[in-house]
Amino acid sequence: MVIGIFLFVSLYNVVFSATNLIVNGDFENPNSIDPWECLGCKPNGLRNSYKGDWSVMVTNRDQSFSALTQRIRSTGGENYIFKSYIKLLKLVRGTMYTDVHVYVKYTDRYGTYIKQRFVDYPKVQIGFGWTELSGDVYIPNGIQSNNFNVSIEIPEHEVDFMLDEASLTVIPNNPYWKSQADSEIDRLRKATLTLTPVAHHNSDYYCQHNQGSYCIDISYMYVEIKQTRSQYAFGSTIQPDLLVNDSLTNYGQFMYDNFEWGEIDNGIQWINMESDQRQLDNETLVQALQRLRSHGLKRWGSGLFSALSKSNPNWISKLPLRDINLAIKDRINYMAALFNERYVYNFLIQDLVIND
Ligand SMILES: *[C@@H]1O[C@H](CO)[C@@H](O)[C@H](O)[C@H]1NC(C)=O
Ligand SMILES: *[C@@H]1O[C@H](CO)[C@@H](O)[C@H](O)[C@H]1NC(C)=O
Ligand SMILES: *[C@@H]1O[C@H](CO)[C@@H](O)[C@H](O)[C@H]1NC(C)=O
C-alpha cells in the first residue's frame, strides 16, 4: 500500500535569465559613469571592486537625497528585481551604521510624481565590506515619458560608499506558476510511505477457511493518516482573552489545529499586567499559556518592555533609579518563570531589543 503524504510546502523558485536594464552597472570604465548621474555628489572610478577591476566611489554628497541615479527606459507594467553590491567607506562620526535605500521615481499615468522606496537595508556597517543590496518593485504601465529612475540614497549626506555590479531585470510573468509550483511540490515535498499489514496468521489457506481477527483482508482495510504537526513550525499571534473565552471555542481550536507556536503580544505589556506595582493581573495570561501548553504549542511573547512611556505603568516613572532597576529585574524574573521554558531566552532577547 503506497500513500503520498504531504510533508511541507516551500516556495517555488523560478530560475530565469533576463536582460539587464541598467547600463554600465559594472563601472568598468573609470573615466565615465555614463548614463548614470551623480546628483549632488561626486563619482570616481576606483580600482577596488566586487567583480571586475573597477567600481564607482561616491563622495561629497551634499544632501540626504544626493544620489547615484540612472534613468531606465521602460513602459512599466512589470515587476523588476534590482541587485547591486555596496561597500561603505565613511559614516557619520560617532555612528556605527547607516540605512541604505533604493528608490524608483516616475510620473504615473495620472501625472502624479511617485517616489517609492523599495529597498530598505537597515544598519549597514563598514565592517560588512561588499554587501548585497537588492529588492523588487512593481511599476504600473502608462508611466509618463516611458522611463523611471533608480537611485541609491543614504539619509546622512556625510556617508561615502562604493557601488558595483548593479542590475535591474524584469521578472517574467508566468501564467503557469501555480501548476508548476504544484508539480514541484509533488516532486520535492512528498514522500512515499509504505505500510505492511502483518497478520497474526499468515497462511492464506487458513484464512480462506477461518475468517476472524487473526486474518487481515486488505481489500477491506482503510488507513487514515492525519498530520497533527508540521516539521517546520508555523505560528500565529493570539489574543489571550479570546483564547480563554469558552463561548469562542472555534478560536482556540483553529489555533491548536493549525499552528505549532502561539505568540502573545496583546495583554502582555507591562502597563496591562501591573498597573499597580506587585498587583499582577495575570489570570487570563496564565490560563492562555496553560491551554497552549496542554495542546503542545510553544509559547512566545513580545512586548516585555517598551521604549514608549505610554506602554509602561505610571508608577515606574515615580521611582528612584535604583528601584526602577529592581522593578525591571522583578518583571524579567516573573515573566521568565511564567513562560518557564527555553524559549524564554529568545523571548527576552527579542523584547529587550525591540522598542515597540
Ligand atoms: C530622472 O533623473 C534625471 C536625471 O538623470 C532627471 O532629469 C529626471 O527629472 C528624473 N526623473 C524623475 C521622474 O525623477
Ligand atoms: C466571550 O465572548 C462573547 C462573544 O463574543 C462575549 O459576549 C463575552 O463578553 C466574552 N466574555 C468575556 C469574559 O470576555
Ligand atoms: C498571579 O499573580 C499573583 C499576584 O497578583 C501571584 O500571587 C500568583 O502567583 C500569580 N500566578 C502565576 C501563575 O504567576
- Residue (of 331, 256, 266, 327) closest to 290 by Cα position: 256
Q: In terms of domains, do 211 and 272 share one?
A: no
Cα 262 to middle of ligand 2, angstroms: 21
- For the domain that residue 102 is a member of, what is the CATH number? 2.60.120.260
Q: In terms of domains, do 162 and 181 share one?
A: no
- For the domain that residue 342 is a member of, what is the CATH number? 3.20.20.80
Question: How many structural domains are present in the chain?
Answer: 3
Say if residues 69 and 39 touch (Cβ distance below 8 Å).
yes
Per residue in 58-81, pLDDT (tens digit) is: 999 999 889 999 999 999 999 999
Which segments of 20-141 are extended strands (E)?
Answer: 37-39, 42-46, 55-59, 67-73, 78-90, 98-107, 113-124, 131-139
- Residue (of 140, 136, 106) closest to 120 by Cα position: 136
Per residue in 168-199, pLDDT (tens digit) is: 999 998 999 999 999 999 998 888 888 887 76
Q: In terms of domains, do 130 and 246 share one?
A: no
**Lining residues, ligand 3, CB within 6 Å:** 279-280, 282, 286, 338
Cβ of 225 closer than 6 Å to ligand 2, yes or no, is no
Q: In terms of domains, do 166 and 180 share one?
A: no
In the numeric block, the cell 498587583 is attached to: 279
Q: For a pLDDT cut of 90, what percent of the chain falls above it?
A: 60
Residues in Cβ contact with 258 at an 8 Å cutoff, skipping those fewer than 6 apart: 234, 236
Its domain, for residue 296, covers 235-351
In the numeric block, the cell 479570546 is attached to: 242
Tell me whether residue 27 is in a domain. no
Tell me whether residue 227 is in a domain. no
Tell me whether residue 225 is in a domain. no
The amino acid that residue 207 corresponds to is C
Q: In terms of domains, do 166 and 181 share one?
A: no
Q: In terms of domains, do 61 and 166 share one?
A: yes
Per residue in 128-169, pLDDT (tens digit) is: 999 999 999 999 999 999 999 999 999 999 999 999 999 999
Question: What nine digits make up the cell of 39?
Answer: 546628483
Q: In terms of domains, do 42 and 156 share one?
A: yes
The DSSP bridge partners found for residue 86 are 131, 163
Cβ of 352 closer than 6 Å to ligand 2, yes or no, is no
The reported pTM is 0.58
Cβ of 5 closer than 6 Å to ligand 2, yes or no, is no
Instruction: Name the residue with the closest Cα to ligand 2, atom 7.
Output: 247
Cβ of 106 closer than 6 Å to ligand 1, yes or no, is yes
Per residue in 276-335, pLDDT (tens digit) is: 999 999 999 999 999 998 998 888 887 788 767 777 899 998 999 899 999 999 998 888
Q: In terms of domains, do 164 and 96 share one?
A: yes
Nearest 5°: the CA angle 237, 253, 251 is 55
- Residue (of 111, 26, 35) closest to 73 by Cα position: 35
User: Is the per-residue pLDDT at 1 higher than 70?
Assistant: no
- State the pLDDT confidence band at 45, using cuts at 50, 70 and 90: very high
- Which of 242, 245, 251, 284 has most ligand 2 atoms within 8 Å of its beta carbon, as the pocket-test mutant? 245
Q: In terms of domains, do 131 and 241 share one?
A: no
Q: In terms of domains, do 123 and 53 share one?
A: yes
Tell me whether residue 23 is in a domain. no
Cβ of 247 closer than 6 Å to ligand 2, yes or no, is yes
Say if residues 297 and 259 touch (Cβ distance below 8 Å).
yes
Per residue in 202-251, pLDDT (tens digit) is: 666 777 776 666 676 677 778 888 777 777 788 899 999 999 999 999 99
Q: In terms of domains, do 126 and 112 share one?
A: yes
- Cα separation, 157 vs 66, whole angstroms: 7
Q: In terms of domains, do 49 and 81 share one?
A: yes
Say if residues 268 and 239 touch (Cβ distance below 8 Å).
no
The SS3 call for residue 162 is: strand
Tell me whether residue 15 is in a domain. no
User: Is the per-residue pLDDT at 273 higher than 80?
Assistant: yes
Half-sphere exposure of 116 (CA within 13 A, CB side): 15
State the average pLDDT for the chain.
Answer: 85
